[in-house]
Amino acid sequence: MAILPPVHTGDHLGARFGSDDAFLSAAAEFAHVGVTGGAQVMIFPSPRLRGSLGDRLGASPPLRRALHEGHLHVMDTVQARHAGGGFDAGRLHAAYRDAALAATAAGYPGLWVAVDMAWACPVDRADAVDAVDIDALIAFEAAANTLFTLGTLTALCAYDTRVFTSGHVFRACQAHPAIAEAARFGHRATADGDGLAFSGEADRSNALAWNALLSSFDPGHHVVDISAMSFLGVRALADLADLAAADRSRPLTIRATSSQVTRLSLLRIDRLAAIEVLPARTP
């Protein structure tokens, strides 16, 4: 079963897999795309798959060369999991931020990271040891989307359906803007740094990621550009309305196409925010 959706620089991908081979194949493909693009790549497999992953990567001459030259790394998930103590969302957020900064400082265009999320085995499993509360994990995944705004971090978070329940996997994937065989959106800072510009699709499948990014707006952010969005579900529009209605020092400006403005007006969002009409564009 292929679990890897198309990967673009700056993506925060959520995926599910149900076999060892599915993860190994996806990790190798992810590594190949990252290495080909010149990125530094780190793969965090479950401990029992480290050897198999090394063999899979080593079977590819470009990836074998990248391993030898230090551009590609198979990481020790257990060591990383326990570095600095137990699960700490703030510490982990800072670790990813600092690792991406270190990669760019070393001359790479960015850092690509693929993780078998079984390290965070849910606490309600009978075999859970030093596990992570699933709600805390999903909250971390959603909040982590701000790390991808600059486009210097790309990540694949792979959830094993043999470890996580279908409900856990669905909610975890909702915290990612891009999911295999579902909606996906991208985001970047606006040219003036005064907000976020989005592209793609926002619906129920990535609702937690969309909400988290809108909720991350600070007082200096007052622009949401949705002109490159091809679809916004009712929930996504409701989140946009909530942001527009929030007590702000400066009114929200929404940049949208003429057809999008029609939908905004149906929900009376045009009464809550300033609307700038832009030509329809592609990402």
pTM score = 0.93
Res. 13: pLDDT tops 50: yes
Instruction: Name the DSSP letter for residue 180.
Output: T
As a whole number, mean pLDDT of residues 179-203 equals 94
Rg (CA), the chain: 20
In one-letter notation, the amino acid at residue 178 is A
Report the alpha-carbon distance of residue 205 to residue 72 in Å, rounded: 31
CA 249 remoteness from chain centre: 30
Res. 1: pLDDT tops 50: no
Element (H, E) at 53: helix 50-58
As a whole number, mean pLDDT of residues 13-40 equals 96
For Cα atoms 174, 23, 1, give the angle at the middle one, nearest 5 degrees: 80
Report the b/e string of 179-211 with b at 16+ CB within 10 A: bbebbbbbbbebeeeebbbbbbbbbebbbbbbb
Provide the pLDDT for residue 123. 52
Report the alpha-carbon distance of residue 43 to residue 29 in Å, rounded: 11
Provide the pLDDT for residue 82. 58
Strands 111-116 and 40-44: parallel
What pLDDT digit, counting tens, does each position of 206-265 carry? 999 999 999 999 888 999 999 999 999 999 999 999 999 998 888 999 999 999 999 999
Q: Quick one: pLDDT band at residue 3, thresholds 50, 70, 90? A: confident
As a whole number, mean pLDDT of residues 149-157 equals 97
Q: At what angle do helices 166-174 and 207-215 cross, to 10 degrees?
A: 40
Distances (CA, A) of 230 to 40, 67, 177, 183, 261: 32, 39, 14, 10, 13
What pLDDT digit, counting tens, does each position of 167-184 carry? 999 999 999 999 988 999
Residues 6 or more apart in contact with residue 143 via CB below 8 angstroms: 89, 93, 212, 216
What pLDDT digit, counting tens, does each position of 123-149 carry? 555 445 567 889 999 999 999 999 999
Element (H, E) at 36: helix 20-36
